């Protein structure tokens, strides 16, 4: 499994875009990048995933560098409810297991 590096914590002002980086320099060719978040005392929530191309859904956008060694999750207009721990997880479709790293604790400031 590819290892990831994420900043331990970040702050973002409410209403601004939150950009969460993830380094996954050892990602292999068939591994997608998945992003989950965990709000306090809840189970992880799936946000978005991608392989090579940038992706967007109703929750967020995912920007993956051309060499696939890093990615950025973008929450376009952060709200207080986006305060959570965000996890970046490379995973191959053949593997069902998800191994969590330490993630980034995002604080949205009023």
Partner 1 sequence: GAVVSQHPSWVICKSGTSVKIECRSLDFQATTMFWYRQFPKQSLMLMATSNEGSKATYEQGVEKDKFLINHASLTLSTLTVTSAHPEDSSFYICSARVPLAGDQPQHFGDGTRLSIL
Contact 21, 7 (CB under 8 A): yes
33 phi and psi, to 5 degrees? Answer: -105, 120
Q: How far is the CB of 57 from partner 1 (least distance, A)?
A: 12
Question: Residue 39 and residue 59: Cα distance in Å, rounded?
Answer: 15
Largest CA distance in the chain: 42
Q: How far is the CB of 15 from partner 1 (least distance, A)?
A: 28
Is 97 a residue that touches partner 1 (CB under 8 A)?
A: yes
Number of Cα atoms under 13 Å in the Cβ half of residue 17:
9
Q: Using CB under 8 A, count the residues that bind partner 1.
A: 23
Is 59 a residue that touches partner 1 (CB under 8 A)?
A: no
Among 29, 41, 66, 110, binds partner 1 (CB under 8 A): 41
- The residue ranges that bind partner 1 (CB under 8 A) are 32, 34, 36, 38, 41-46, 49, 51, 85, 87, 93, 96-103
């Amino acid at each position: 499994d590819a290892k990831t590096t994420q900043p331990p914590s970040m702050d973002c002002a409410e209403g601004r875009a939150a950009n969460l980086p993830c380094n996954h320099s050892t990602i292999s060719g068939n591994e997608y990048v998945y992003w989950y978040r965990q709000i306090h005392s809840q189970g992880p929530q799936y946000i978005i995933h991608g392989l090579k191309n940038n992706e967007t859904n109703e929750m967020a956008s995912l920007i993956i560098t051309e060499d696939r060694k890093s990615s950025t999750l973008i929450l376009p207009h952060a709200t207080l409810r986006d305060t959570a721990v965000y996890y970046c997880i490379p995973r191959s479709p053949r593997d069902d297991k998800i191994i969590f790293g330490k993630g980034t604790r995002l604080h949205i400031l009023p």
